[in-house]
Structure 1
Amino acid sequence: MRNADVVVVGGGNAGYCAAHAAAERGRRVVLLEKAPRAHAGGNSYYTLGTTRMAHDGLDDLLEVLEPDERHARTVVPPYSAAEFLADLERVTEGRGDKELAEAVVEGSRDTVRWLHDLGLRFQLMYERQAHERPDGTFVFWGEAHVCNVDGGRGLMSDHERVATRLGVEVHYDCPVTGLSTDGGAVVGVRIGDQEFPAESVVIASGGFEANAQWRQCYLGDGWQHAKVRGTPYNTGDLIRAALEIGADRGGDWSSCHSVPWDASFPENESNRSLTNRLSRYGYPLGIVVNRQGQRFLDEGADFRNYTYAKHGKLILEQPGSVAFQVFDAKSRLMLDAYEYEMPGITPIIANSVEELAAAMGVDIDGFVQTVREFNASIDASHPLDPTIKDGRSASVEPIKSNWAAAVAAPPYYAYPVTCGVSFTFGGLRGDVDGRVLDVSGSPIPGLFACGETLGGLFSGNYPTGSGLTAGMVIGRRAGSLA
């Protein structure tokens, strides 16, 4: 391993953005990845590559998008920086770091263009964030419009290609065990009992979601049973190392990104073949019940982009940490094939509500009553329109605010779901340039953090695509200073 000006710890999206930015400045950059080559890419590999960014509509996006004949038949509404900030403020209930949020939002469009110019490929999310009208036009909804070509796999493949061109030296199967310091400054990293000097160290090794003991300690009892959606290597080792040299904790250590996750597939953790196909995000079109056959959340509170990341927690709190997403023959046709026609999936199917309850193993009388009361309470004066919050509600407890449709057309389908943990919201405290701060609020010389390692942006919930964006923006800023 050569001497480095900058050592980046962690080979996900944020780490590579930091590495690219430092290498562009002529820095000698070494990137150290804990996982072996076959399992590299961090959590980023497991994503759809969704990147939330401020923009002025389709014409503004075209310069970063791969060509697609559908563009001529597409409507992409503008998404302003003010709207992006408002969404972050709303879903985190005002608990996020406002300066960090502003930096991410204001830098989102320019950073995507920077990455595009480096060689990353972007496209519109037709299959996940658009509805096709009868006239053949596509209408986008939910404000997360752009993703990487080939999803997380494509994102990381593109990053690796760019890093090679820029001269970044990458080492896999290389777990960093500590930070080297001199007079309060970070001057390198330790790998086993060896020290590797560097002028700056950028920690981009994720949160602690793959550490069951830490999850139980900081998120609460029961969280040790959550399914790890992404990489099994994000165990908080470098967060611990930074805290040991005086770094301050940042963000909300008591909450995380957790989603409705397939409960029946045997290999439903860290599955690199299926990645996101184990997600179950079609719940706004149906109802969700627990083992008592009772609903326990508002499936239509908002677009799934603003609710799915907190639903895993609600499912974890149900008996047995399991729930069932229920659809009838009509709503089943509207579900995303990417998720609900996943290879190996076996939904529970029955020709009556009673038979479905028995097959699910839930309380039959409770489930039948739930469905009956839900169907009777629907405000049918509003047409069902999944492209907007249509106000078609069901006035039961809990209410369903939008997209309520009767569960009345057999056959009926149920999909068992549990809690899938994506990443933790708590990490190291840092500023908008990724400089890690000590308990007095002063930067620790030579130490930076970005991506999921940097706490403060999210709390309790998260808008789709903002995690990758934050990693891109703050990773770039950290690499520009390191």
Structure 2
Amino acid sequence: MGSTRAATPQIYDVIVVGGGNAALSAALSAQEAGAHVVILEAASREERGGNSRFAGTAFRAPHQGLAHVKTVLCEQALGDSERCSMSPYIPEDYRNDLQSTSHGLNDPVMSEIMIRDGWETIEWMKNKGIQWETTLRKYYNIDTQKEVIIDLMSGAPVKVVGDGEGLIRDWYNAVEDAGIPVEYDCPAHELLTSGDTVYGVRTRQTDKYVDFYGQVILACGGFSANPAMRRQYLGEGWDLVPVRGTRHNTGTMLRRAIEAGARPVGHWGAAHASPQDINAPLTGDITKTPVIPRYSYTYGISVNVEGKRFFDEGEDEFALTYAKIGKLIGDQPRAIAYQIFDQKTLYLLQTRYSSGTPIVADTIRELATKLKINPTALERTVQEFNAACPRPGRGHFDPHHLDGLCTSPSLPIPKSNWALRLEEGPFVAYGVTCGITFTYGGISSDDRARVLNNEGKPMPGLYCTGEIAGGVFYHNYAGGAGLTKGAVFGRIAGREASWRAKTVGNEGARSRPGEEDTFISSSRTVQVNGA
């Protein structure tokens, strides 16, 4: 191994690794608590923001109904609130959604903190300049439902104006107003440690390493953009799936933390993966990625290239199922599927479908031919589905709530809600594939966002938040909970790291270049003088 050259060490109270929602929450919280903070962002200024830049930005938090939600909406969003209604979303609802989507495996302590602090964090973010609106225009086609008061899903009551780009713009405006420096094109390379104690981060530059000393908050995501790790942990075919987010989530610091002694936790064999347009780019493209999700599958049927249905499209509202549907699509032949609708429900498709290319045909047989599916197979699937649907007059179709319109037991794969016969042509299909958003496996942390070692003890000087913190999501995901988790624990990590910096000072900066002092990085011994 060749020698390494290190530049003069940089000394801060708190070092935040990452540049997305969780990281910026942590940085602003630490600065608010009196710390001297720096943000290390692997991306350039133009690509900053991590996966958050590509997010739909719904936040999940308990609230008391629409009147309560309106207290955080920006002025331009108040008009839309007249077009909708919203039921309260109480802590028990949130608790049930986290437990049901994760099959009861979610960490109860972390979950309760998300429930406890979720709404307060949304209010805090508003005070930092984040602009909130309802999800009305994101998830509902209001142009085709002009005379209808839409009862919004209460679990994800708000989103950010401008989606991911708006979220990142607002966060960085707050960061700049606070005077927090951001080091761009500065990927973290390894941790500087002595035993379990973390003293700082070594970053990788073109011709040298630069060491930063201080309390470290890891908020740099999982391994969604690393095809080798996806194949290793998620399985066959995952190295080929389109990435919905940043290309910089390579899992480097996740691996380094584990090498340094952090305990891996969570569902390493699962990820947030959802239906995306069949022509999705292989890595996040800000001009395309935000508009290619295909989440209106609840209003039709989905079939694979053999013309067969393969999941219950009406199991629950899409916000509680979409993050697991991607894997189901990925498991199908050629990892593609087709969502098929008839004229009764086309008006309900989310506006993002306008970015796709619909395949239209007057008959199911003609549609099958255009989709290159065996016509007889697809006709049989649709006939069997139609025969199992409730007859007209038996039940009421309610597009915005679980309506109980379910297929009969004769159908091997049921449709539990919104089961309407496909019979009014022209029929319309959209091709979809699996897109990965973020990974569920991560490192262990406690209620103070402190990283825990393999023996369950805190690693002094090391904190984490966001996707790198495992333990909350297993198998599936409640829409909007990820961003809330990152922001909630970002605030906690920032406060805790700031407090420790005031208490113990910059232990890692006790020596200067040229003095004898050696720390152990997460992969090898590193001398402070870079020799």
**What is the TM-score of this pair, normalised by structure 1?**
0.96
In the alignment, structure 2 segments of 5+ residues that lack a partner are: 1-8, 498-531
SS in 2 for 1:325: strand
SS of residue paired to 2:472: coil
1: CA distance, partners of 2:150 / 2:306: 40
CA–CA separation in structure 2 for the residues paired with 1:169 and 1:9: 12
Q: Distance in 2 between matches of 1:7 and 1:181?
A: 14
> Is the contact between residue 128 and residue 171 of structure 2 (CA under 8 Å) also seen in structure 1?
no
Q: Which moved more, 1:345-354 or 1:457-466?
A: 345-354
* Rg (Cα) greater in structure: 2
CA distance in 1, matches of 2:157, 2:100: 19
Q: 1:216 aligns with which of 208, 231, 236?
A: 231
Map Cα deviations across residues 439-474 of structure 1 (whole Å, 9 max, x no partner): 000010000110000000100000110000000100
Kindly state the Cα deviation for residue 142 of structure 1 after the two structures are TM-superposed.
5.2
Match of 1:394 among 387, 407, 424: 407
Query: 1:33/1:57 Cα in 2 relative to 1: closer, same or farther (>3 Å)?
Result: same
> Contact conserved, 2:16 with 2:39, CA < 8 A, in 1?
yes
Distance in 1 (alpha carbons) for counterparts of 2:486 and 2:360: 41
Q: Is the 2:10–2:211 Cα contact (8 Å) retained in structure 1?
A: no
Partner of 2:524: none
User: What runs of 5+ residues in structure 1 fail to find an aligned partner?
Assistant: none
Residue 141 (structure 1) aligned with residue 153 (structure 2):
yes
Among residues 105, 130, 134, which one is paired with 1:124 in the alignment?
Answer: 134
Query: 1:48 deviation in Å?
Result: 1.4
Amino acid at match of 1:408: E
Match of 2:395 among 374, 382, 390: 382
Provide the residue aligned with 1:351 in structure 2. 362
Q: Is the 8 A contact 2:222 2:438 kept in 1?
A: yes
CA contact (8 A) 1:188 1:195 kept: no
List per-residue Cα deviations over 1:170-196 (Å, max 9, x = no partner).
Answer: 011111111111343111111135342
SS of equivalent to 1:330: coil
Read off the aligned partner of 1:177 and give its amino acid letter: H
Counterpart residue number, 1:286:
300
Structure 1 residue 97 corresponds to structure 2 residue 107: yes
The one-letter code of the counterpart of 1:479 is G
Confirm or deny: 8 A CA contact 1:73 1:138 kept in the other structure. Answer: yes
* Matches of 1:220 and 1:390, distance apart in 2: 36
Query: Residue in 2 aligned with 1:257?
Result: 272
d(CA) in 1 for partners of 2:70, 2:321 = 29
- d(CA) in 2 for partners of 1:347, 1:386: 21
Q: Which residue of 2 aligns with 1:360?
A: 371
The aligned residue for residue 62 of structure 1 is: 70
TM-superposition CA deviations, 1:223-282 (whole Å, max 9, x none): 1121111111101000011111111101111111000111135x3531111232111101
Name the % identity.
38
Q: Determine the structure 2 residue equivalent to 1:316.
A: 330
Structure 2 contact 141–347 (Cα < 8 Å) conserved: no
Task: Kindly provide the amino acid, as one letter, of the partner of residue 382 in structure 2.
Answer: V
Q: Give the C-alpha shift of residue 129 in structure 1.
A: 4.4
Match of residue 185 from structure 2: 173
Equivalent residue number for residue 305 of structure 1: 319
Within the candidate set 458, 462, 465, 2:480 is matched to 465
Equivalent position amino acid for 1:470 in 2: K
SS at match of 1:445: strand
> What amino acid is aligned across from residue 214 of structure 1 in structure 2?
M
Q: TM-score, normalised by structure 2?
A: 0.88
The aligned runs of 1:228-239 (5 Å cut-off) are 228-239=243-254
SS, match of residue 26 in structure 1: coil
Q: Number of residue pairs matched?
A: 478
The within-5 A match list for 1:411-422 is: 411-422=426-437
Query: Aligned partners of 1:321 and 1:363: how far apart in 2?
Result: 17
SS state at 2:46 partner? helix
Q: Match for 1:156: what amino acid?
A: I
Output the CA distance in 2 between the equivalents of 1:183 and 1:460: 34
